[in-house]
Amino acid sequence: MTATTSVAQSPRRRFWGRMFKNPLGIFSMIWFVILLIAWVWPELLATHDPLQQDVTLQRLFEGPSRDHWLGTDQLGRDWYSRVIFGAGYAFRSILIAMTIAVVVGVPLGLFSGWRGGRVDRAIMWVNDVLFSLPIILLAMAVIIILTPSLDNAMIGVGIAMSTRFTRLTRAVTLQEKEELYVDSARITGLSTRTILARYIAPNLLSSLIVQAAIISGAIILIGATLSFLGIGASLDDPDWGVMLNRSRELFRVEGVWQVVPPGMALILTVLSFNLLGDAIRDAIGRDSSNNALSITKRTAVTAATTPHATGPDVVLSVRDMDVEFPDQSGRVSQILQGVSLEVRAGETLGVVGESGSGKSMTMLSALGLTPAPGRMTRGSVQFGGRDVTNLTESEWQAIRGKDVGVIFQEPIAVLNPAIKVGRQIAEPLMIHQNLSKKAALQRAGELLAEVRVPDPVRRLDQYPHEFSGGMAQRAGIAMALACEPKLLIADEPSTALDVTVQGQILDLMAEVQERHKMAIILITHDLGVIAEAADRVLVMYGGQVVETASADDIFFRPKHPYSRALLDTMPQSHDGHGELPVIRGMVPSATAWPQGCRFAPRCDFVTDACTNDMPALETIGGDLVRCVRHGEIQLVPEEEMQA
Amino acid sequence: MSGSAFFEVDDLHVHFASRAKLFRETPPPVKAVNGISFSIEPGKTFGLVGESGSGKSTVARAILQLVDVHAGTIRLDGDDVTNVPRPKELAFRKKVQAVLQDPFSSLNQVHQTRRIIGDGITRHFKIKPGPEREQRIINLLDEVGMSTEFLDRYPYEMSGGQRQRVSIARALAVEPELIIADEATSALDVSIQSQVINVLQRVQAETGVAFLFIGHDLEVVKHVSDDVGVMYLGYLVEQGDADAIYEGPTHPYTEMLVASIPMPNPIMQASRRELRQSFNNDAEPPSPARMPPGCPFENRCPVALDICREEMPEPSPAHHGGQVRCHLHTSGPELGGESVVEFIKTEARGQVAV
Ligand SMILES: Nc1ncnc2c1ncn2[C@@H]1O[C@H](COP(=O)(O)OP(=O)(O)OP(=O)(O)O)[C@@H](O)[C@H]1O
Ligand code: SF4
Ligand code: SF4
Ligand SMILES: [Mg+2]
């Protein structure tokens, strides 16, 4: 469950935002704009006529001067103006070759990928043969058939380049056609042509643009090479390749300068096309920062005001934790506000709340893993009685590897597909417990047996894909248990698994807890799982703790309207087929918390008092509640009170 | 099956060919669906439950013409719609629509809500984009409880629940007779899941559309369904009245599913857990490529008989008016279609020392 309820930034805006943040992207875009102007309206930039020779023969082979910015060539023509006019030749080459490459390559790739089977194999075979031929060879072949000219050479280059587009388009089509949204389009009854043109092609566009940018660079280079070899543009044209060729002949006599203007233009252009391709790719790329556990540098953290839980059995204690995230425009949203919790050895703390309520973020931040660019701005964390609020990343690593085990929702995602399961379990043992490889592997086998993976020794030698979901989660638990942690954090450990397997995993966790007396934090949105496994429960809403209490109290005597509402929405709480109770509306986004109580817009008990100030987290007995009306409202029906 | 039902699946088989390997014998095909039959009446819901890999989605995809049917027939309104030929496909699509599992990937990210819902209207009613189509889209959004502000939203600008409502509106747009909901609420938070289920039920009450509701959570499936079928490794092991099956399952696997639903009540959950633990928890279902000759549930069944290892049980009548595939009803204790709950409780206690 990672449904984000917040309104995401539009990809277009994000794209340009990222392009303008990338210095290489800016450089290539500026160069590109200059070239475009040079192509469309060269007279605007040029200072001289590129063909105008110096009839006086006074000013040949000059270096840069005020009159001729880049000097003159062997006929006294202005280098700068010739280079400017050369841009037109370069673009004309790109235009011809690219048009052919795209017009031939893309439809072929779409067709091939969509059809699949034998047709696909035949097309790709021909394509691979063409692909393996040198591009220059194809260009020469076309020149031989037609007449030698740069334009005709470019037709050959276009055909050669079309194989790149066919490959790319086919790969994307093969992948996209398996996507659910394509199934949906077919179910709607849309024709194949519509699906290809309007569903697949737009998703293809970004990869094509990147590819086109990079190929454009290659086309210019090839065009120049052909001209350089004397089979492209004609000798007097201000084409960069031709110019380079002429200069080379005179290079020995007249010094190095003569190759610089056309050479630089060529290099800069090819380079900027490649940079542009890279920059577009980076700017389009999925938001990887959301997944990557890149950790922010710790900065000053405001101290907590609430005292920590004390006692020898307190494993983790968090007080008054705030976590903030700046968004793209620099505004700061508070993802967590005043979160406090503690968990003791042998105890299971259940954490519930809807998606986006901050359950996972709480755990990550408590362990010093706040994903960048987020940061903890207030609060205090103690682990095993030691203040760990301001630890460095390497200090944290020592604690996390040894004393904290983590189980994730997607077991398969945690395991590296390329490495045998046995080695993955053994590795941390070798690092943190200094075991030899052999001893670590043996211990890994014991661990797999402990989590009741059948035939553990053979399983050590298998790769993750040979494990079913349930078995992979067992292996994940084995890994988490490897160093006998004091704290086990399980973030939705059974949500992705079948109900029957979910039971097995819960049993297994109970069993290992019994044996090792560790503390468990169990994050889930399923109150049934909480009812089975949790001793105490922490209810989160809108980045805040709204209630903590014993499991029995949460289920039979909830104090916060949100706890009650969560219980009511479970279909298990409801007989018959009638309308299910719901919590109206949806979780607010972190960029726009409601005024006062964050649950107020969805609460059945809301009054004016609720929306004025944010309710404080009050201590009642040993429990916490964040609701201004908790004493006066009746959340448990009369009959249930008596039962 | 009488053959007069509105929608009917009769003895459906779907096989997936294994990939041929060079110089090696081609492995036998994977039998994903093995002889499944059920029917749905207008305005009613048939629920299909089972674990991942049991073949639920393959049944849906076969009906939706997304995979080839190996054998069996699918009938809608008396017409054979098993492998609909191209020219008739559009007419079929008009009658059968779907809401798919993943609210993230089942909508095209580059289209706004207006386009997502409107495409089907244009395609099936020949109404070009314009005021008439706009009004229809607005009505559909209203039906699934969304305001016009969502017309211009892209999928990534909506929450999971909102996207799933858009999916429902898209399905409703062509005014279908049958909607297949494949894990349509599974990816949603419980509170949002309830909202979406309420929308589905209200739509059914208003339009009389029939539903095939596929899920892995028996509790949810039971709530929305009139009849349910329980699938295990491609077989329908039990089917009948939803409430009666939930209260008195006649197949041990169905009982295992009931026992696996965690109750949001620590006291009730403690007894469910005990029941759950009477099943062989560590065994894995056999691979569909290597099916045992007998009952596929045998290695996890706490009350298996000797015959179970050798013979595949045939369907026999059950107390809930449907059928069950389990030897217990015809051999051994000869339960004769009655609930297995008490039998498992007494038998399994003796076997499993906790
Ligand atoms: N890398 C990030 N950058 C910015 N905001 C983030 C990031 N990761 C999470 N958030 C936001 O933090 C809030 C809390 O997210 P969190 O993942 O902790 O929720 P959760 O309760 O674990 O939800 P779920 O049940 O979906 O796992 C959400 O508003 C989410 O959008
Ligand atoms: S403070 Fe008011 S709005 Fe908030 S939960 Fe309590 S009663 Fe509801
Ligand atoms: S046929 Fe035998 S093994 Fe299969 S479910 Fe029935 S009793 Fe169990
Ligand atoms: Mg989470």
Among the partner residues A502, A528, A565, nearest to B263 by beta-carbon distance: A528
Give the best-scoring range by mean pLDDT among A7-21, A173-187, A379-393, B184-198: A379-393
Q: pLDDT band at A413, cuts 50/70/90?
A: low
Q: How far is B52 from chain A (nearest CA, A)?
A: 7
Mean pLDDT of A273-286: 73
Lowest-confidence segment of A129-138, A350-359, A378-387, A581-590 by average pLDDT = A581-590
Q: Is pLDDT at A296 greater than 60 in this prediction?
A: no
Q: Where are the domains of chain A?
A: 19-50+70-286, 416-466
Task: Classify residue B13 as exposed, middle or buried by CB count within 10 Å of its CB (0-12, 13-18, 19+).
Answer: middle
Q: Is B199 near chain A, with CB under 8 Å?
A: no
pLDDT at B7: 95
Q: Enumerate the H helices of A116-200 as residue ranges.
A: 117-132, 135-145, 150-176, 180-188, 192-194
Q: pLDDT band at B1, cuts 50/70/90?
A: very low
Contacts of residue A497, Cβ cutoff 8 Å, sequence gap at least 6: A469, A470, A473, A505
Give the 3-state DSSP-derived string for A216-257, with helices as H, strands as E and coil as C. Answer: HHHHHHHHHHHHHCCCCCCCCCCCHHHHHHHHHHHHHHHCHH
CATH of domain B7-232: 3.40.50.300
Q: Is pLDDT at A632 greater than 60 in this prediction?
A: yes
Instruction: Please state the atom number of ligand 1 nearest to the C-alpha of residue A590.
Output: 29
Among the partner residues A8, A183, A573, nearest to B157 by beta-carbon distance: A8
Q: Is B160 near chain A, with CB under 8 Å?
A: yes
Contact A277, A214 (CB under 8 A): yes
Give chain B positions within 8 Å (CB) of A503.
Answer: 259-260, 262, 273, 276-277, 281
Lowest-confidence segment of A105-109, A194-198, B31-35, B241-245 by average pLDDT = A194-198
- Which tops the pLDDT comparison, A47 or B345? B345
Contact A82, A238 (CB under 8 A): yes
Q: Is pLDDT at B60 greater than 80 in this prediction?
A: yes
Share of chain B above pLDDT 90, in %: 51
Give per-residue pLDDT as tens, A138-172. 888 888 888 878 888 889 999 999 999 999 999 88
Mean pLDDT of A581-607: 88
Which residue of B lies nearest to A12 if distances are taken between CA atoms? B110
Mean pLDDT of B76-103: 88
Query: What kind and span of H or E run contains A314?
Result: strand A314-326
- Which tops the pLDDT comparison, A439 or A494? A439
- Residue type at B319 in one-letter notation: H
Q: Is pLDDT at B160 greater than 90 in this prediction?
A: no
The reply to whether ligand 2 has any atom less than 6 angstroms from the CB of A565 is no
**Residue among B305, B306, B344 whose CB has most ligand 3 atoms within 8 A, to mutate:** B305
pLDDT at A504: 81
Q: Token digits for B50? A: 């089972």
Handedness of CA A384, A386, A387, A392 (dihedral sign): negative
Lowest-confidence segment of A464-473, A530-539, B247-256 by average pLDDT = A464-473
pLDDT at B24: 62
Q: Is pLDDT at A591 greater than 60 in this prediction?
A: yes
pLDDT at A286: 46
pLDDT at B222: 93
The reply to whether ligand 1 has any atom less than 6 angstroms from the CB of A2 is yes
Q: pLDDT band at A292, cuts 50/70/90?
A: very low
pLDDT at B22: 58
Query: What kind and span of H or E run contains A318?
Result: strand A314-326
Mean pLDDT of A591-615: 91
Give per-residue pLDDT as tens, A400-412. 878 898 887 776 6
Which residue of B lies nearest to A200 if distances are taken between CA atoms? B108
Q: A569–B119: do the CB atoms touch at under 8 Å?
A: no
Mean pLDDT of B272-279: 84
Q: Where are the domains of chain B?
A: 7-232, 248-348
Tell whether pTM > 0.80: no
Helices vs. strands in chain B: H and E counts, helices first = 12, 12
CA distance B9 to B33: 12
Q: How far is A344 from chain B (nearest CA, A)?
A: 20
Q: Is A175 near chain B, with CB under 8 Å?
A: no
Contacts of residue B91, Cβ cutoff 8 Å, sequence gap at least 6: none
pLDDT at B53: 78
Give the best-scoring range by mean pLDDT among A53-57, A367-371, B311-315: B311-315
Give per-residue pLDDT as tens, A34-46. 888 888 887 777 7
Which residue of A lies nearest to B45 if distances are taken between CA atoms? A577
Share of chain A above pLDDT 70, in %: 89
Closest residue by CA, ligand 2 atom 1: A627
CA distance B85 to B99: 23
Q: Token digits for A96? A: 């011809």
Q: Is pLDDT at B21 greater than 70 in this prediction?
A: no
3-state DSSP assignment of residue B327: helix
CA distance A368 to A376: 9
Lowest-confidence segment of A155-164, A283-292, A380-389, A581-590 by average pLDDT = A283-292
- The mean pLDDT value of chain B amounts to 87
Q: Is pLDDT at A289 greater than 60 in this prediction?
A: no
Q: B191–A582: do the CB atoms touch at under 8 Å?
A: yes
Q: Token digits for A330? A: 């620099």
* A to B CB pairs, distance under 8 Å: 191
pLDDT at A3: 36
pLDDT at A5: 35
End-to-end C-alpha distance for chain B, whole angstroms: 44
Q: B119–A190: do the CB atoms touch at under 8 Å?
A: yes
- Which tops the pLDDT comparison, A554 or B192? A554
Q: Is A525 near chain B, with CB under 8 Å?
A: yes
- The mean pLDDT value of chain A amounts to 82
Is the link from the previous residue into A373 a cis peptide, with omega within 30 of 0? Answer: yes
Lowest-confidence segment of A68-72, A270-274, A341-345 by average pLDDT = A68-72
Q: A3–B97: do the CB atoms touch at under 8 Å?
A: no
B-interface mutation test, from A5, A175, A181, A602, most B Cβ less than 10 A away: A181
Give chain A positions within 8 Å (CB) of B232.
Answer: none
For residue B189, report the distance from its CA to the centre of ligand 3, in Å: 35
In 3D space, the residue among B40, B30, B32, B31 whose CA is nearest the CA of residue B10 turns out to be B40
B-interface mutation test, from A10, A188, A205, most B Cβ less than 10 A away: A188
Give chain A positions within 8 Å (CB) of B49.
Answer: none
Place of tokens 């739509």: B203
Give per-residue pLDDT as tens, A60-94. 667 777 777 777 777 777 777 787 888 888 888 88
Task: Count CB-CB contacts under 10 A for residue B75.
Answer: 19
Domain A19-50+70-286 CATH class label: mainly alpha
Give per-residue pLDDT as tens, B101-145. 776 678 888 889 999 999 999 999 999 999 999 999 999 998 888
For residue B40, report the distance from its CA to the centre of ligand 3, in Å: 28
What phi and psi, each to the nearest 5 degrees, are found at residue A246? Answer: -60, -40
Q: A531–B266: do the CB atoms touch at under 8 Å?
A: yes
Q: Which of residues 544-603 of A touch B (CB under 8 A)?
A: 551-552, 555, 565-567, 569-574, 577, 579-583, 586-587
Give per-residue pLDDT as tens, A499-544. 787 888 888 889 889 988 999 999 998 899 999 999 999 999 999 9
Give the best-scoring range by mean pLDDT among A155-159, A178-182, B44-48, B217-221: B44-48
Mean pLDDT of B269-287: 80
Query: What kind and span of H or E run contains A111?
Result: helix A79-115
Lowest-confidence segment of A9-18, A446-455, A548-557 by average pLDDT = A9-18
The reply to whether ligand 1 has any atom less than 6 angstroms from the CB of A58 is no
Give the best-scoring range by mean pLDDT among A218-227, A417-426, B112-121: B112-121
